[in-house]
Amino acid sequence: MKQVTARCIMCGKTYDVAEDHKDYPKLVQSKDAVFVCDRCNYKVRYESEEEQKPKKPM
Ligand SMILES: [Zn+2]
């Protein structure tokens, strides 16, 4: 399977993105394509969901 090396804009780690990854075509087309790793993706999604929840009254 083909791979491309991409750097996560959030944690700065480099990852080997495999051909079947949704971002692969984008990363191959442009070296400047924005890549967010699965871990950071999950974190962002989790945090935005947390923000949408009503805050508990003290
Ligand atoms: Zn990351």
User: Is residue 9, in this structure, part of any structural domain at all?
Assistant: yes
User: Is residue 16, in this structure, part of any structural domain at all?
Assistant: yes
User: Is residue 7, in this structure, part of any structural domain at all?
Assistant: yes
pLDDT band for position 3 (50/70/90)? very high
Q: Please report, to the nearest 10 degrees, the dihedral formed by the alpha carbons of residues 45, 49, 50, 51 taken in order.
A: 110
Residue 2: phi and psi, rounded to 5, are -75, 150
CA–CA dist 12, 34 (Å, integer): 12
Distance 47 CA to ligand 1 centre (A): 14
Q: Would you state the structure tokens that stand for residue 37, as one six-digit string? A: 């790793």
> Which residues span the domain enclosing 12?
3-52
Average pLDDT, the chain: 91
pLDDT at residue 25, as a whole number: 94
> Helix or strand or coil: residue 44?
helix
User: Is residue 11, in this structure, part of any structural domain at all?
Assistant: yes
User: Is residue 35, in this structure, part of any structural domain at all?
Assistant: yes
User: Is residue 33, in this structure, part of any structural domain at all?
Assistant: yes
User: Is residue 57, in this structure, part of any structural domain at all?
Assistant: no
Distance 58 CA to ligand 1 centre (A): 34
Distance 1 CA to ligand 1 centre (A): 22
Domain count, the chain: 1
Average pLDDT (7-21) is 95
Is the model's pLDDT at 58 over the cut of 80? Answer: no
pLDDT at residue 39, as a whole number: 95
